[in-house]
Structure 1
């Protein structure tokens, strides 16, 4: 499986942050945690980036064609943003410190939530703490923040795009 960046780039990244424990990992351990980090970052954030994969057989979310930053600056089609690589390095470090921390939290509480605005009520499932995975890693979120597209709020006019009554009650 592929990773973002290289083990050497991750070594420099963690050394610059004084993480001597990263240096103590074997090359195989580093590569394994970098895979986990890349899989986590892609899975957690891919739905919030724009553009399209460069090829059908592409394993990772980057590089992308037609992607922009959150403020509309074009990202070259052949580039994986430095922040995305750094987010995967952060995730890999967390995984190296606490194996399994990036795995989906299967026992989190999912609740049915309703929001009523005027005559419309929207029902949706949500993790009880409001996050998508039940976990929040600030350093990872900060590294990818400028590549995430603003979240939009659905309106009654959007119901046709989402299957009508499937989302609107």
Structure 2
């Protein structure tokens, strides 16, 4: 993502709903994401995956399907996108952020993402999107530096503090 793209994304978040630019007028669409940590203390790592479109580093996330709540969607997305099996830690979402989902077939959309902490139970070598994404564990500070969305950076920092306090 170029500096221009980041600036455009940031400006889009502040676009007034009454403007004639109508592609971002509707209320935010809900998504769910997972922050999966392993290790502890200075050896704590966060799982990041690449997005399918641009290859940027993100956490597993996606749409909440009918009949699911946010926690269930986070667990499902983590399996589909990263091949990890985990369970949501109690306490609900650890944070929330917004971003602009750029879609070529339809108008762009503002998405509001609830992020859940997941406890890693198992990591598998075969998973649904293994040919479309890369997954990698990073030290938390490195992961924060690799993520483009400022809101997600803040959520990762907050999630790490919750883990350290537990």
TM-score (norm 1): 0.28
Q: Which of the pair is proportionally richer in strand?
A: 2
Structure with max Cα Rg: 1
